[in-house]
Amino acid sequence: NSIFNKLLKLPEDTLVYPAHDYKGDTVSTIGEEKAYNPRLQVGSEAEYVEIMQNLNLANPKMMDVALPANLKIGLRQDDLERMGMSLGFGHGIAKVEDPNIMLVDLRDEAERKKNGIIPGSVHTPYPDLNDCLNPGGMLFELASSLGKRIVFYCAYGERSAMAVEAALGAGIEDPCHLAGGIDAWKSAGGPLVV
């Protein structure tokens, strides 16, 4: 709907950045897209939808992360660091044995198998996070009953930064995240179970 009723109604010389880098081109115009984009050589929105559905393209990766992040502006990794809610990889490695923290891995099972797991961490895939943070949810109850500080981590730190914000919203005290995620952890020589 937005393609046909908004974008394609813009002036022909409007610059667009389609992000597909097709043939090395990173910028185009509405006019060029109308003239040369085969997906736009259709007579109606319904015809376009049918063509796209028949392509059987895989869903975009990490959409569960990208969509919520694009829909709202939240805390970023550097914001968390300024607020004292971020552990650098050196501090994180030192704290892995700390009985007062609970490491929570937000990655999916495929990511965990590929890159390893921080020993002793609890697995809560990011899409399940809100249910786990609500009263009665696993993380809410563990944090409340054990009095442990939750330290979230993911691949690079983006999901874990959003998880800190969600935990604060759920009333969990003093959550933080591992800056740079498992990637920074591995670079610093942090222990992993593979």
Q: What is the mean pLDDT of residues 115-122?
A: 92
Residue 174 has pLDDT above 90, yes or no: no
Residue 93 has pLDDT above 90, yes or no: no
Q: What is the mean pLDDT of residues 89-100?
A: 66
Give CA torsion, residues 156, 159, 163, 166, to 10 deg.
150
Q: Please name the fold of domain 63-187.
A: Oxidized Rhodanese; domain 1 (3.40.250)
Residue 71 has pLDDT above 60, yes or no: no
pLDDT given for residue 168 in this prediction: 87
**C-alpha distances out from residue 85 to 13, 17, 162, Å:** 46, 36, 12
pLDDT given for residue 169 in this prediction: 86
Q: How confident is the model at residue 14 (pLDDT cuts 50, 70, 90)?
A: confident
Mean pLDDT score across all residues of the chain: 80
Q: How confident is the model at residue 109 (pLDDT cuts 50, 70, 90)?
A: very high
Percent of the chain with pLDDT over 90: 15
Q: How confident is the model at residue 77 (pLDDT cuts 50, 70, 90)?
A: low
Give CA torsion, residues 87, 90, 92, 94, to 10 deg.
-130
**Of 110, 8, 135, 70, whose CA–CA distance to 123 is shortest?**
110
d(CA 118, CA 183): 11
CA geometry: angle 151, 175, 173, nearest 5 deg: 140
In the chain, where the domains are located: 2-54, 63-187
Residue pLDDT, tens place only, 43-68: 888 888 888 888 888 776 766 666 56
Residue 86 has pLDDT above 80, yes or no: no
Give the global pTM: 0.59
pLDDT given for residue 185 in this prediction: 86
pLDDT given for residue 44 in this prediction: 83
